[in-house]
Structure 1
Amino acid sequence: MRLLALLLLPSLAVAQTGAIDRAQQPSRGVTLPPTGAALVDEATALSLNPAGLGYVGGSQLFYLHERNLVQDGVGDGVFLASRFLGLGAGLSMEWVRGRAQPDYRKTSLGLSLGSRTLQLGGAWHAFSSDDGDLDDLDTFDLGLTARPARALSLAAVVKDINAPHEGPYDLKRQYNFGLGVRPLDERYTLGVDWLFSEGAFRHGQATYTLNAEVIPGLRLGAGVSHGFVSGVPLTLQLAATVDTSGLGLTYAVGGTHDGTDHVVALRLSTESYRALRPPGGVVTLLDLNDELAGTSPLFAVLGASGTDPYLKLTRWLELAAKDERLSGVVLKMEGLPGVSWGKAEELRQAVLRLRASGKKVMAVLLSADDAGYFVASAADRIYAVPESMLPINGLAAHLNTIGGTFQKLGVQWDVARVGKYKSATEQLANTEPSEPWKEQVNAYLDTQTAWYEKGVAESRKQPPERLHQLWATGLATAKQAQELGFLDGIILPTELDKKVRELLPDAHFSTTYAPRDEREGRWGRRRRIAVVPVIGTIAGGRSREDPLGFSQIAGAETVVRALERAQSDPGVVAIVVRVDSGGGDVLASHLMYQAVMDAAKHKPVIASMGDVAGSGGYYAAMGAQEIFALAPTITGSIGVYYVKPALEGLLGEKLGVSQVSLTRGPLSDMFDTWRPWTPEEQKAAQAWVDASYDIFITEVAARRKLDKAKVDEIARGRVWSGQDAQARGLVDKLGGLPEALDAARTRAGVPRDEELDVVILGEARGFFSGLGGEPGVRAVLSLLPEPPPSLPEPLRALARSAGLNLELLQPGMKAMMPFTLTVQ
């Protein structure tokens, strides 16, 4: 038996074998390499099952050339597919020429819509030929593909729905039912199709397809087709495909008793396919400064802010550590915008995980302070350019007070607070920090300095005394840093390639590498872990950021809604609440806390803390079943306070403004910002704050399973490092976002070998997007009181320049850190 027609797209197998006269089956088109109705998901799906167009993620172009040497038949086809308005769209033109049949051109258009689990597609085919009857033909197809699970794909196709009849051409409807299974993983695919014409089910044709990825970039395919009654020929087809990222080449040969058929297919695509890997793997450059840069101010104003850049970076590093293609990373370091010591520790651990997975890491410093060098110290090698700025000079915290300034302006501050460490009045009213304030900051600095020295000593094999010598230089030159053992060399930019080759002699450098950027060949949808960010000052309304990046708001509406979405989504197996906030509004913090607890009743919820989880930020996190903090995370500040200014001295005495208040209650104007509180008003405000604080520590005691008196002892507004907070029971484990994701997987009972997607729900948006509310949550959060009018802009500008959190100057009940702790 001789080989012939490539077992065409299985759904058209009958029409594509040599036993079928092209003149009687013009809808056949060009023969395709081995595939099936449930398997096809490329541009060529337009010819077999238009639903497959919906699985094309980018843009594709296929060129196919077919030749049957015995019948002297020739076919050429060009297939295009792309995403269009969220739909899968396809266009193709096929030219079929044969000595015994009329020549014709087949033009096809198709669309598909749906999700990764279900796609519905339709196609229209028109014919052009010198044969007048054939020239008048056009046909329609309808296809459905369901991929409910990773190992299962189902398809149903109706071809030639309109059953056209022109002269000798009488096209009957054809039906194709396809089944695809992956018994092992994505490398091996089996397909079975049953194709039959209307009214001839028993006379149909069965097609069996096997596709296997032998190694990345090399795929083999085979197909067998036969019937169960006489007259249906047995056909066989074999194929091999070689893939590079954007280019693929397939050769297929098949046949039956009518002769041998050859098909060559060329693929061009914007999607990256699994490719033949160069010896030594891939090395890429990761510019941390670029990766951490936020959305442009213009996009932020228009509400186009995207996922937090730091969360995107951590996800990149996690995927890169698991990517077998990657052999090395060059870290370009020129500042770490938005990164304090908590995130620096998390990035350092990510670099160590890269190395533990077998990757080589080289850090190139253009500039680096202590936090930047702490991250770089985890690399295999550290280099600097000759003129690098290296202000590696030890840790420092600056405690600003502007009480003297407000005194000169005639502004007084009314504050009700709990705990000697909740030092809101000190920053606003004192002329110098108190001893309790300095005590907690000094304790944090001691803990973080010890952690810093330990990390650098372990990575660079240098004793702390050497690091102290580096600190003593104030602003070290690259040569000094190298002489002290903290650099492996000084290089010019032109020498970078040479240093990479020394570290990885056989590696191939790629500027376009991205982890898991290959075409998604997985069926169904992965189960997911949802990350819900609580980033910035906590307030009511939507999460948002200002256009210039000065502030970011964690809006209770957005956070609550995101938690509800994650809770109700059956594909989400667990939730990680990512907290990087010093707190804010008490009621908004409490609503987040309640939403976290409600979600934890249905799914595992883990809290992950970044640079800071203070006061209201800790409040929101403690509803989780398990809390992770990094050793340097600023944690705690458990407490509340109420603050308001008295502006009579400024507005009345200095600016000549007068105010007369007409009241109908003894305390009806206690929240007015004109005059200071009376003793009765101070007492009422303090009682309110005491009650709120009591609720706070009661909830902490209940959630953390601690004695309430013990909680009060470690609360009182005090700030702790994550390491010290763990020792006192406020935190369960030390670790970053990857550790929190692992804990979420474990609590959800997901096997270690199952791939999970990580999705971020509730990202901050731009300025205009924050002007409205969130549907479905507005009613709940309408209980939030309207805040009093903002302070005059001159006072806000003054506070911003002095390093104050502007929310501190907004009157109201706060569960937030009363000062911004910046350690440099």
Structure 2
Amino acid sequence: MRLLALLLLPSLALAQTSSIVQAPLPSRGMTLPPTGAALVDEATALSLNPAGLGFVESGQLFYLHERNLERDSLGDGVFLGARLLGLGLGASVEWMRGRHEPHYRRTSLGLSLGTPTLRLGGAWHGFSSKDSDDVDALDTFDVGVTARPVRALSLAAVVKDLNAPREGSLKVQRKYDLGLGLRPLGERYTLGVDWLFSEGAFRQGQATYTLQAEVIPGVRVGAGVSHGFVSGVPLALQVAATLDTSHLGVTYALGGGEDGTDHVLGVRLSMENYRSLRPSGGVVTMLDLNDMLSGGGSVLMTLLGASEADPFLRLSRWLDLATKDERLTGVVLKMEGLPGVDWGKAEELRQAVLRLRASGKRVMAVLLSVDDMGYFVASAADRIYSVPESFLHINGLAAHLQTFGGTMEKLGVTWDVARVGKYKTAPEQLTLTEPSDASREAVGAYLDNEVAWYERAVTESRKVPVERLRELWAEGLPTAAKAQSLGFIDGVITPSELDAKVRELVPRGHFNAAYNPRDEREERWGRRRRIAVVPVLGTIAGGSSREDPLGFSQIAGAETVVRALESAKSDSSVVAIVLRVDSGGGEVLASYLMYEAVLAAAKEKPVIASMGDVAASGGYYAAIGATEVMALPTTVTGSIGVFYFKPALKGLLEDKLGIHQETLARSPMADVFDNWQPWTPEQQTAVQKWVDASYDSFITDVARARKMDKAQVDTVARGRVWSGNDALSRGLVDKLGGLMDAVASARQHAGVPASEELDLVLMGEARGLFSGMGGEPGVRAALALLPGSSSSEPLPSAVKSLARELGVNLELMRPGMKAQVPFQLIVR
């Protein structure tokens, strides 16, 4: 509809003349196809309402040619529009030639600023002419405002010739244009009404009515009529048609009035994609999951705090928009790794593929290198193909538990531990030489659940008995031919055969590798209401959310999360909040502060917690304050419990390295957090009391949030890890579902109709190392700046080096009170 609006600019159409006194003044520029002051929002807005320049999102160029045979006049104009630093910029040059008026050139410059719903603009017009000294010295100024508060309404007011210039015998009167735009039936139909009048002559003004309509995508028509209510105001009519492709559009407008028939031809070139004619078979695109999930931000930008949105959240949004895009008819999934994805997110991707298919899209997966997780996602496609040399690492699931107690013994390092619950086994990684029975029990139960879920999903999708899957697993590294013979792929193809297979899948589809589900020019007025997604990703700690520039670690900072929740709560455009948790926990205090912030936000707006791969211990704590808690069937969750532990390094530093330390204490507990000596029995008892009290607070909050008896919570707590399926049956979560299910639930809780379009906005994403240097947090966020335990000492450099060599989670080894999942569970 934009090209119609771009060339349908002033619906004042053939009546675009300045009022003059004492001597004739040439026309104030070219005639434009039907539009109005409240409708115009392209580069040609410079001629009618400069505020409209603010709606230009990228570079635009328009060329207009006008001819009136009866009046023997010609006009040519070039209009440029762009956006820079949030400002709408415009420039134009128009050449007018006519038998009955002086030839002249009009040069214009314009600027617009404001918000998406309110734009202010100004324009300068400079005239030059060899035929008239008065015209040659003429300069005029326009100012305008456009307000688009809601989807169906646009309002505008323009003051033209604000300076009312006088040059010799020419006197230009100030004029006003009041515009109204309506879209009662959505973006396909637009109605406009304008009232243009000279200063002091309101009743002698001119009314203009405009209709713009999109017949089919890429084809638009328009019509305009203008008249007055007193004698002497001419009647003018105009009709127009526009043909659009993405970056090129052509418009022809024909109009008539007392001065004869006017012809206008317009051509648009734009960097921005316009809604265009669609191929009969739709668009087919390739989605490289490995590339989409790899991020791609530079190390330097991450250091400066300019990290981009989480790749998985970005991919989820892409898939959701693609599902709703009528242009898209087919997707080719390139399967070559799923970086940053574990079984929870794999289930979300699989469900996203199923939603694509349910919306009418055909999906083909091409396997280059996949393990069981990659095949799990690919199995949701309509068809699965492999190339002859594909690496199919599809051999069943296994979990690996590593312990470093033996290493610690060799190094002379011992660990003091205070914990609650036999399943809170995180310290056992560093204290035991082999996993405890509790660890084996919890991990075994999770693994059994994962295997059962995998078998059911894959065999139902491929319509094969489970025995065939087990036969495939028994191969270890099955060949593509073996996978095909067992029914797990549909064929082995060479890359040169891929095009033919795509044509089989979508017979009339047109492949477009650059497809983007939201690459078309925004036609909508007003601002969509929004759902805020607040991420809790990585190890929970105090301060800002951050990630190291190499991507090895990610911290969910309480300050960032609390501040994001407060912003979302106070933002009137945000109707609901989705708390996206993908964290195994961390510091108890930071987790508690997040929980309190979620509770506070949920009193104002619906908050839906969406659990990803893992939302355990402190990650579970942060989530339970939500209005509703959703997990995936394979989410690692629960692990309700706390622990405190610290190293005793005397055996390493003194006995092996010759470092001596002597402590002079004046109370029994003065060195309780010292990293040299093991705890005394009295110190062990004191710390255990502290940990017991923290655990009691934890389960009390869980019982209150989950509306469970405290004793009932204790039976499923004590550090026990559960799958999402098991957590649901035990009342720890409310529903099973992924991120987009949480978004749908947030919409429902907020009472937003299914027909209303909502935007997803990410608030509180992780930044780089220097990201925490600015901003004024509120009181609650300022509190979250505190470290998790003020009494914890920094981790000694020797222990840091040891952790890096062993591959142990550095945050796990840092002394302090922890609410953290007992292990890094890797199932492959």
Provide TM-score, normalisation by structure 1. Answer: 0.97
Q: How does 1:54-453 map to 2 (within 5 A)?
A: 54-130=54-130, 131-294=132-295, 295-453=297-455
What residue in structure 1 maps to residue 784 of structure 2? 781
What residue in structure 2 maps to residue 566 of structure 1? 568
What residue in structure 1 maps to residue 812 of structure 2? 808
Per-residue Cα deviation, 1:735-781 (whole angstroms, up to 9, x for no partner)? 00111011100110001101111101001111221466763355323
CA distance in 2, matches of 1:772, 1:325: 43
SS in 2 for 1:158: strand
Question: Within the alignment, does 1:535 sit opposite 2:537 as a pair?
Answer: yes
Question: Within the alignment, does 1:795 sit opposite 2:799 as a pair?
Answer: yes
CA distance in 1, matches of 2:646, 2:539: 18
CA distance in 1, matches of 2:815, 2:551: 23
Question: Within the alignment, does 1:553 sit opposite 2:555 as a pair?
Answer: yes
1:770/1:492 CA distance change after superposition, 3 Å = farther
| 1:71 shift after superposition | 1.0
Per-residue Cα deviation, 1:23-42 (whole angstroms, up to 9, x for no partner)? 83446101111000000000
Q: Which amino acid aligns with 2:155?
A: L
CA distance in 2, matches of 1:721, 1:773: 39
SS in 2 for 1:548: coil
CA contact (8 A) 1:808 1:818 kept: no
CA distance in 2, matches of 1:466, 1:620: 42
What residue in structure 1 maps to residue 3 of structure 2? none
1:699/1:660 CA distance change after superposition, 3 Å = same
CA distance in 2, matches of 1:771, 1:438: 44
Percent same amino acid among aligned pairs? 72
| 1:801 shift after superposition | 4.9
CA distance in 2, matches of 1:22, 1:375: 78
CA contact (8 A) 1:225 1:235 kept: yes
Per-residue Cα deviation, 1:462-487 (whole angstroms, up to 9, x for no partner)? 11111111111111221221111111
Q: Which amino acid aligns with 1:65?
A: H
CA contact (8 A) 2:21 2:170 kept: no
Per-residue Cα deviation, 1:311-335 (whole angstroms, up to 9, x for no partner)? 0001111111111110010001110
CA distance in 2, matches of 1:800, 1:424: 17
CA distance in 1, matches of 2:799, 2:350: 39
| 1:15 shift after superposition | 4.6
**Residue from 760, 763, 766 that aligns with 1:764:** 766
Question: Within the alignment, does 1:44 sit opposite 2:44 as a pair?
Answer: yes
Q: Which amino acid aligns with 2:783?
A: V
CA distance in 2, matches of 1:592, 1:389: 43
| 1:10 shift after superposition | 3.6
CA distance in 1, matches of 2:22, 2:16: 8
| 1:448 shift after superposition | 0.5
Per-residue Cα deviation, 1:59-114 (whole angstroms, up to 9, x for no partner)? 11111000001111111111111111110000111111111111111111111001
| 1:789 shift after superposition | 4.2
Q: Which amino acid aligns with 1:605?
A: V
CA contact (8 A) 1:393 1:473 kept: yes
CA distance in 2, matches of 1:500, 1:22: 71
Q: Which amino acid aligns with 2:285?
A: T
CA distance in 2, matches of 1:182, 1:643: 64
Question: Within the alignment, does 1:710 sit opposite 2:724 as a pair?
Answer: no
| 1:126 shift after superposition | 0.6
Per-residue Cα deviation, 1:761-818 (whole angstroms, up to 9, x for no partner)? 0011112214667633553235544464443445334434544221011000001113
CA contact (8 A) 2:10 2:31 kept: no
CA contact (8 A) 1:414 1:677 kept: yes
SS in 1 for 2:579: strand
Q: Which amino acid aligns with 1:639?
A: G
Q: How does 1:689-768 map to 2 (within 5 A)?
A: 689-768=691-770
CA contact (8 A) 1:557 1:773 kept: no
RMSD: 1.8
1:110/1:17 CA distance change after superposition, 3 Å = closer
1:739/1:801 CA distance change after superposition, 3 Å = farther
| 1:199 shift after superposition | 1.1
Q: List runs of 5+ in structure 1 lacking aligned partners.
A: 1-5
CA distance in 2, matches of 1:212, 1:115: 26
CA distance in 2, matches of 1:771, 1:331: 41
CA distance in 2, matches of 1:300, 1:8: 45
SS in 2 for 1:201: coil
Q: Which amino acid aligns with 2:813?
A: L
**Residue from 511, 521, 524 that aligns with 1:522:** 524
CA contact (8 A) 2:368 2:390 kept: yes
What residue in structure 2 maps to residue 822 of structure 1? 826
CA distance in 1, matches of 2:8, 2:80: 19
CA distance in 1, matches of 2:148, 2:488: 54
1:613/1:774 CA distance change after superposition, 3 Å = farther
CA contact (8 A) 1:153 1:180 kept: yes
CA contact (8 A) 1:561 1:774 kept: no
1:492/1:24 CA distance change after superposition, 3 Å = farther
What residue in structure 2 maps to residue 670 of structure 1? 672
CA distance in 1, matches of 2:783, 2:810: 26
SS in 2 for 1:767: coil
CA contact (8 A) 1:804 1:819 kept: no
CA contact (8 A) 1:803 1:820 kept: no
Q: List runs of 5+ in structure 2 lacking aligned partners.
A: 1-5
SS in 1 for 2:43: coil
CA distance in 1, matches of 2:826, 2:345: 13
CA distance in 2, matches of 1:7, 1:731: 55
Q: Which moved more, 1:511-520 or 1:339-348?
A: 511-520
| 1:14 shift after superposition | 7.1
CA distance in 1, matches of 2:567, 2:48: 37
1:409/1:247 CA distance change after superposition, 3 Å = same
| 1:370 shift after superposition | 0.4
What residue in structure 1 maps to residue 639 of structure 2? 637
**Residue from 680, 683, 686 that aligns with 1:684:** 686
CA contact (8 A) 1:579 1:608 kept: yes
| 1:13 shift after superposition | 4.8
CA contact (8 A) 2:543 2:785 kept: no
CA distance in 1, matches of 2:616, 2:772: 24
SS in 1 for 2:194: strand
CA distance in 1, matches of 2:238, 2:21: 19
SS in 1 for 2:767: coil
CA distance in 1, matches of 2:122, 2:33: 22
CA distance in 2, matches of 1:559, 1:281: 41
1:792/1:780 CA distance change after superposition, 3 Å = closer
SS in 1 for 2:263: strand
CA contact (8 A) 1:94 1:107 kept: yes
SS in 1 for 2:689: helix
**Residue from 557, 562, 580 that aligns with 2:582:** 580
CA distance in 1, matches of 2:328, 2:21: 51
CA distance in 1, matches of 2:710, 2:420: 15
1:18/1:818 CA distance change after superposition, 3 Å = closer
